Amino acid sequence: MMSNNKGTFIEINLNSLESNFNYIKSIVAKKTKVLAVIKASAYGSDPVQIAKFLENLNVDYFAVAYVPEAVRLRLSGIKKPILVFHPQACNLNTLIQHKLIPTLYSFKILDLFKHALIKEKIENYPVHLKINTGLNRIGFNSKEVPKLIDSINNDGLIKIDGIYSHLAASEDKHELGFSLKQINLFKKSFTKIVENIKNKPIIHVCNTSGAISFPDAHFDMIRSGIGLYGFSNKLTKPGNLVPVISLKSIISQINDIKKGDSVGYNRGYISKDKLRVATIPLGHADGISRIYGNGKGFVYINNKKANIIGNVCMDMLMVNVSNIDCKEGDEVIVFNEKYTAEQLAESAGTISYELLTALSQRIKRKFLD
């Protein structure tokens, strides 16, 4: 039996991260750039350490969702270009101050950004344009492209450093036709823009699963987020991508439960027989949501599956260890390379993205290299 005297912690395997990065590099042409997505605390890990490691591996670009995430990277010493996917009006001056690259996705944000540049007396500032090809979140639609061309060419304030879009279902083989439709619409839109500007921008549309599924759509750069951390679509050959993040804890107490006894808040579980119940110092405040309670979620103790019983508490959860030889202090694997976050997420009808990015900052991070 393996004991754990470290409590609850997240283990980040940098060797696996490097392996994933090298795999992603291997599926694109040498001239094709790779952008690493570091948003949402690098998918629940540590954005600063991940970015520094990838910068040392000579990644070409970084991207985050919002300006404060990018500022944190800049202040930590990251020098590579950082694209902000969804900049807000309130942060545009900060974005300029830290030499970040904004995504311009609407005429309103375009106009506000131009005003910020005029105020700072800056011209030819690099930006990326976002084209909405069917995800319908943010971006200029294809009908707006002629007006967009006029807006970007009339004053010399901005330089179109990149043009991109986002595939809605690149991992879904049943939506192959829709993805191809998006790619073709994107081609038509960026071609019109490129024909009407002086420089050659970086063209990109593929995320990790898109890069695997649509090699003809790699263009100048691909973006990898979840793939860097070891997850992708079903078309990826087993072993090519290795989970980087493990979540481990311990058994803090074991209780013997009689028939009729209840476990947890609201008496969420009533025992139908004698049970041994282990309490683990991990709860929904740490990112293990209540949706994993009442038999849906599970952990592994001494290589055996232990189902969560009752409701997940804020700081603790309880599992059935009646058929597991274990003791207080034994290690608990919530997920790792073998027992993946994807499997746990699917048990509750969600996705690995949600599970990983929900991991609390109060959980200590440990790096393996």
* 318/366 Cα distance (integer angstroms): 24
Q: Which residue has the tokens 């700081």?
A: 315
Residue from 23, 33, 39, 248 carrying the catalytic annotation: 39
Return contacts of 198-203, CB within 8 angstroms, 24+ apart: 199/159, 199/160, 199/161, 201/128, 201/129, 201/160, 201/161, 201/162, 201/163, 202/33, 202/128, 202/161, 202/162, 202/163, 203/162, 203/163, 203/164
39 included as an active-site residue:
yes
Contact assessment for residue 45 and residue 12, using Cβ atoms and an 8 Å cutoff:
yes
Catalytic residue among 6, 119, 200, 265: 265
Quick check: 157 and 112 in contact, CB under 8 A?
A: no
Q: Is there a catalytic annotation at residue 265?
A: yes
d(CA 274, CA 272): 7
DSSP, collapsed to helix, strand or coil, labels residue 304 as: strand
Residues marked as catalytic: 39, 265
